[in-house]
Structure 1
Amino acid sequence: MDFQVPNTLAEQIANYLAERIMTGQIRPGERIHEATTATELKVSRASVKEALYTLERWHLVDITPRKGASASRLDAEHASELYDVYMHLLLMLADRLCDRWQEEDKPRMLNVVGAVIEQMKKPSADITAVVEASFEVMEVCCELVGNPYLTEALSNFKPAVSRAYYLSAERYRQGLAQTSQFFTQLPQAVLARDADKARALIQDFAEHQKALIQQALAPENGERAGAR
């Protein structure tokens, strides 16, 4: 990613660093020095500091008094805890979506879901594209539900969950058949306003995804997994 000066400088710095953390260019536990980053990006240390606070909110950075910031460590146990909280937020979203969607929302929901399924049908599925399309479904659902607090909470979890997917990309690829089935069945439950069915689908799918991530981040599967 080439750094470009944005309208909101601190947010763009945060996005730039987030991509490097999520893709492993900045390793778990690695220090992020304000002065070095400011020099590299030709920005002020104040802007970098603000960006680091944003990354802390996104669960990508740990900030320790007198020690500074470092990329948060990620192992199977903490990925599991992260995904459990994220799953419960998704369950809340599904409950409200089943209750609040309107007939005019139906084409938009089906379009974003269809885009995910199309990405997974490609001969060599691009995991990054699949993950981004999946989050697009979540974001559209958040807009339809219209709960700003739930939207903010889910948005703050998106980078950390994306990071877990990227670090376990090959395992995630192995689960694409079940992912496709999930995205086929979930809209049917939501459009039928069957909240119980939607919750069951999300819970089953989340447990499956969590297991894949735990396997990929287990210590024997690579040096990039770490403990907080």
Structure 2
Amino acid sequence: MEFQAPNTLAEQIANYLAQRIMTGQIRPGERIQEATIAAELKVSRASVKEALYTLERWHLADITPRKGASASVLDASHAAELYDVYMHLLIMLARRLCERWQEKDRESLVQSVARVTQQMQARKADITAAVEASFSVMETCCEVVGNPYLTEALSNFKPAVSRAYYLSADRYRQDLDRTGEFFLKLTRAVLNRDADEAEKQITGFANHQKQLIQQSLTGDEAAGQ
């Protein structure tokens, strides 16, 4: 990823570092040196420090007094904790969506899901595009629900969950058909205002995804021993 002149410097630095962490260029536990990043990007250390606090909010970095920042650990246990919390936030979003969507929202909801299924059905699926399309559905749903606190909470989880997808890309790629089917069933439940069915779909799919990611991370841990 090329670093480009930002509108908000600290956020652009955070996005740049987040991409490197999510794709494994910066490994879990690896130190993130303020001075090194500042020199690499030709920015001030103050801007890098601000960016690191954003990464901490996104659950991608740990900041320890007098020791500095490092990429947060993501092992099978941490992935399980991450997915459990994220799943409950998604269930809350789906239940609010079932209550609040109006007929004028139908087209945007259906179109956002259609983009995901198109990505999943591509002969050579692009993991980055598939992940982004999946999150675009969440963002569309957040706009319809209109709860700023829930939107912020879910947005802060996006980088960490994306990282889990990238680290288990091979297993995730093999499972894209199931992902597309999940989005279709969830949309059907939401448009029928069937909150219980929506929760059932999210719970089943999230637990399945968590298992895939845990298997991948467990394999990586074993290989590193």
Task: Establish whether residue 143 from structure 1 lines up as the match of residue 143 from structure 2.
Answer: yes
Count residues in correspondence. Answer: 225
Task: Establish whether residue 46 from structure 1 lines up as the match of residue 46 from structure 2.
Answer: yes
1:87 is aligned to: 87
Which structure 1 segments of 5+ residues have no match? none
Runs ≥4 residues deviating over 3 A: 219-224
Task: Choose 172-181 or 84-93, whichever is displaced more.
Answer: 172-181
Question: Secondary structure of 1:125's match?
Answer: coil
In structure 2, give the amino acid aligned to 1:134.
S
Which structure 2 segments of 5+ residues have no match? none
2:19 is aligned to: 19
CA contact (8 A) 2:21 2:71 kept: yes
Please report how far the alpha carbon of residue 124 of structure 1 lies from its aligned counterpart in structure 2 after TM superposition: 1.3
Distance 1:38 1:45 in 2: 5
1:206 is aligned to: 206
Cα deviations across residues 12-67 of structure 1 (Å, max 9, x unaligned)? 00000000000011111100011111111111110000000000000000000110
Question: Secondary structure of 2:21's match?
Answer: helix
1:113-152 alignment, distance < 5 Å: 113-152=113-152
In structure 2, give the amino acid aligned to 1:33.
Q
In structure 2, give the amino acid aligned to 1:188.
R
Please report how far the alpha carbon of residue 220 of structure 1 lies from its aligned counterpart in structure 2 after TM superposition: 5.0
2:197 is aligned to: 197
In structure 1, give the amino acid aligned to 2:182.
F
Question: Secondary structure of 1:17's match?
Answer: helix
In structure 2, give the amino acid aligned to 1:76.
A
Distance 2:126 2:11 in 1: 26
Report the RMSD for the aligned CA atoms in angstroms: 1.3
1:108 is aligned to: 108
Structure with the greater relative contact order (CA < 8 A, sep ≥ 6): 1 or 2? Answer: 1
Question: Secondary structure of 2:112's match?
Answer: helix
In structure 1, give the amino acid aligned to 2:130.
V
1:182 is aligned to: 182
1:32 is aligned to: 32
